[in-house]
């Protein structure tokens, strides 16, 4: 037991140091900057997704707003996923303590844990889903209603993290049906009732905000796709990557544990792992399934390794170490490359924005004229807002993504003002000519990258309302007739 205990403790220490290292040196992504900068305005909902990731960052922002390095905001991702590894040990140790040390070590060494250090809404989803399942299992094991109540609360928080939580709820329902136990149905009712207040928060916010969370996820962001064999192949490759190759081999050999008779009631975790996986597998016949879609359900697959012999688990750990090393070397080699190596890349200005944002932000802050700063995309606005500490708006965009600015910003208030549009690509001045009295374009070369500045005088709100905001309303904020709604914030704001 001493040996296994030492492996586990060293793995926690090693993976925590590595995650902290990566979270400090890996460049801030556009989505992370978007979450951080838009979280400073507290609300019960936000444009793309349920509010949990914004709420967590809002709490963090009490201690610094934009002043802290993004490493600080990534700490929740680093420590919450590590806590899952510790809770895994707690669960499995009830059956076999030696195996618990090794299986938890394998989870901590998997990319599913190790490379989850970025700020995403998948992190609170995996965290609260796991806590919910942890307490639901404890409720089954100890026959105590309080655990089902706590499980429901965490289940509700998982729903406020991301809508993939519905697969978790569906899995528990199917498990309850499968068990055919009246007592379990009562426990399931407690679970659902305690989750409902959190679900209601999101439903009510959508009811008062054009149902934009649901419409965005189900309609606006979807591209027409057809059956592609590569999407099914990517489905399996994604699982292999997240849980490491040898564990994936164990899954295949056991036919994903489908025919195995589980002991100690861990069939509960099989359902939470397998039902979402079947759903995503079927979905892969229709579209590409994102790598991050799996992460809240795959941790439960590690619990099922309790049925596998020690030799295979040890071999999985050895393969995971090699696999992690290769991934880490790949990431490190890219990060230490001189940015000049990318100068012939067609997206070189975009690369510079992520690798040298301080240079770009420093240049923009040096402009002394009284302009409202803008870009034409939410990624650029979020990155520049974070680094300049000046709020950038998104101008002229009809993209489905990053439209939180539709809620937080009012173009009426800047009628007649001067706007400076910063762009990573050349912009035809004629595109925006109807919205300003005069536009002067300048090209700036920074580190061999070409950037463009549009100095726009006297914003014409009336023209912008008719040509951009009306299209925005028609495209994103016309509520389908079958959906009940309380008001229409965009229609009312701009009087359509």
Q: How far apart are alpha carbons 88 and 113 in whole angstroms?
A: 12
- List Cα–Cα distances, 148 to 128, 151, 176, 429, in angstroms: 14, 5, 13, 60
**Do both 16 and 119 map to the same domain?**
yes
A 10 A CB-CB count for 307 gives: 17
Beta strands (DSSP E) in 300-397 are 372-375, 393-394
Residues 162 and 282 in one domain: yes
| CA 422 distance to own-chain centroid | 27
Q: Are residues 313 and 359 in the same domain?
A: no
End residue of a domain, out of 303, 334, 365: 334
Question: Do 93 and 159 lie in a common domain?
Answer: yes
Look at residue 342 and tell me if it is in a domain.
no
Which pTM was predicted? Answer: 0.94
Q: Which domain holds residue 73?
A: 2-334
- 8 and 146 in a single domain? The answer is yes
Give bridge partners of residue 457 from the DSSP assignment. 438
Dmax (CA) for the chain in angstroms is: 77
Q: Is residue 436 assigned to a domain?
A: yes
Residues 288 and 216 in one domain: yes
Cβ proximity of 375 and 394 under 8 Å: yes
Show the tokens assigned to 384: 């520049």
Helix axis angle for 122-142 and 52-61, nearest 10°, is: 110
Residue 160 main-chain phi, psi, to 5 deg: -75, -5
Last residue of a domain, one of 334, 369, 392: 334
Instruction: Please check whether residues 51 and 12 belong to one and the same domain.
Output: yes
The structural domain count of the chain equals 2
Q: Are 275 and 174 in contact (CB under 8 A)?
A: yes
Instruction: Judge whether 287 lies within some domain.
Output: yes
Structure token pair of residue 288: 């590409």
The DSSP result for 225-238, as a single string, is ----HHHHHHHHHH
In a domain, 341, yes or no: no
Has residue 169 been placed in a domain? yes
End position of a domain, from candidates 299, 334, 369 = 334
pLDDT tens for the chain, residues 1 to 496: 558 899 999 999 999 999 999 999 999 999 999 999 999 889 999 999 999 999 999 998 877 555 578 999 999 999 999 999 999 999 999 888 999 999 999 999 999 999 999 999 999 999 999 999 999 999 999 999 999 999 999 999 999 999 999 999 999 999 999 999 999 999 999 999 999 999 999 999 999 999 999 999 988 877 667 788 999 999 999 999 999 999 999 999 988 888 777 777 789 999 999 999 999 999 999 888 988 999 999 999 999 998 899 999 999 999 999 999 999 999 989 888 887 788 888 889 999 999 999 889 999 999 878 899 999 999 999 999 999 999 999 999 999 999 999 999 999 999 999 999 999 999 999 999 999 999 999 999 988 889 999 999 999 999 999 999 999 999 999 999 899 999 999 999 999 9
324 and 356 assigned to the same domain:
no
In this structure, the answer to whether residues 276 and 361 fall within a common structural domain is no
Q: What is the DSSP letter of 415?
A: T
DSSP 265-313: TTHHHHHHHHHHHHHHHHHTTTSPPPGGGGTTTTHHHHHGGGGS-HHHH
In a domain, 339, yes or no: no
Q: Are 416 and 453 contained in the same domain?
A: yes
230 within domain boundaries? yes
Pairwise CA distance, residues 399 & 431, whole Å? 16
Q: Are residues 190 and 272 in the same domain?
A: yes
> Residue 490 and residue 451: Cα distance in Å, rounded?
32
Strand duo 393-394 + 419-423: pairing? unpaired
Tell me: do 269 and 359 sit in the same domain: no
98 in any annotated domain: yes
What's the N-to-C CA distance of the chain in angstroms?
70
């Amino acid at each position: 037991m001493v040996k296994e205990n030492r492996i586990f403790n060293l793995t926690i220490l090693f993976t925590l140091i590595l995650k902290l290292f990566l979270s400090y040196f890996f460049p801030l992504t556009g989505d992370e900057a978007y979450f951080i900068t838009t979280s400073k305005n507290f609300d019960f909902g936000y444009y793309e997704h349920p509010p949990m990731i914004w709420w967590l960052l809002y709490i963090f922002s009490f201690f610094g707003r934009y002043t802290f390095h993004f490493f600080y905001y990534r700490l929740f991702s680093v420590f919450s996923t590590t806590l899952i590894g510790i809770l895994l040990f707690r669960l499995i140790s009830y059956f076999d303590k030696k195996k618990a040390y090794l299986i938890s070590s394998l989870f901590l060494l998997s990319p599913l844990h190790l490379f989850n250090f970025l700020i995403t809404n998948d992190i609170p989803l995996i965290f609260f889903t796991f806590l919910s399942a942890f307490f639901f299992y404890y409720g089954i094991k100890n026959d105590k209603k309080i655990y089902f109540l706590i499980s429901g609360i965490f289940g509700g928080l998982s729903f406020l993290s991301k809508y993939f939580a519905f697969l978790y709820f569906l899995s528990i329902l199917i498990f309850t049906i499968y068990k055919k136990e009246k007592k379990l149905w009562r426990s399931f009712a407690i679970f659902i009732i305690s989750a409902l207040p959190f679900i209601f928060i999101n439903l009510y916010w959508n009811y008062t905000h054009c149902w934009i969370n649901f419409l965005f996820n189900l309609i606006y962001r979807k591209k027409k796709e057809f059956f592609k064999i590569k999407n099914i192949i990517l489905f399996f490759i994604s699982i292999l990557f997240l849980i490491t190759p040898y564990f994936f081999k164990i899954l295949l050999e056991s036919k994903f544990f489908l025919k195995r008779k589980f002991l100690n009631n861990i069939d509960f975790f099989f359902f939470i792992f397998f039902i979402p996986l079947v759903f995503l597998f079927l979905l892969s016949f229709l579209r590409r399934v994102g790598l991050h879609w799996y992460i809240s359900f795959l941790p439960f697959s590690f619990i099922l390794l309790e049925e596998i012999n020690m030799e295979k688990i040890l071999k999985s750990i050895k393969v995971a170490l090699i696999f992690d090393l290769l991934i880490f070397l790949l990431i490190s080699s890219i990060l230490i490359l001189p940015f000049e190596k990318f100068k012939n890349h067609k997206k070189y200005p975009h690369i510079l924005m992520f690798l040298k944002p301080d240079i770009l932000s420093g240049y923009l802050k040096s402009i002394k004229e009284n302009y409202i700063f803008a870009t034409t995309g939410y990624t650029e606005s979020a990155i520049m807002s974070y680094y300049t500490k000046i709020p950038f708006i998104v101008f002229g965009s009809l993209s489905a993504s990053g439209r939180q600015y539709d809620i937080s910003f009012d173009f009426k208030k800047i009628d007649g003002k001067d706007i400076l549009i910063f762009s990573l690509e050349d912009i035809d001045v004629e595109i925006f000519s109807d919205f300003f009295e005069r536009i002067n374009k300048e090209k700036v070369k920074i580190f061999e990258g070409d950037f463009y500045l549009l100095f726009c005088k006297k914003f014409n709100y009336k023209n912008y309302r008719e040509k951009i905001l009306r299209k925005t309303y028609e495209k994103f904020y016309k509520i389908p007739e079958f959906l009940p709604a309380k008001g229409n914030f965009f229609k009312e704001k701009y009087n359509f």
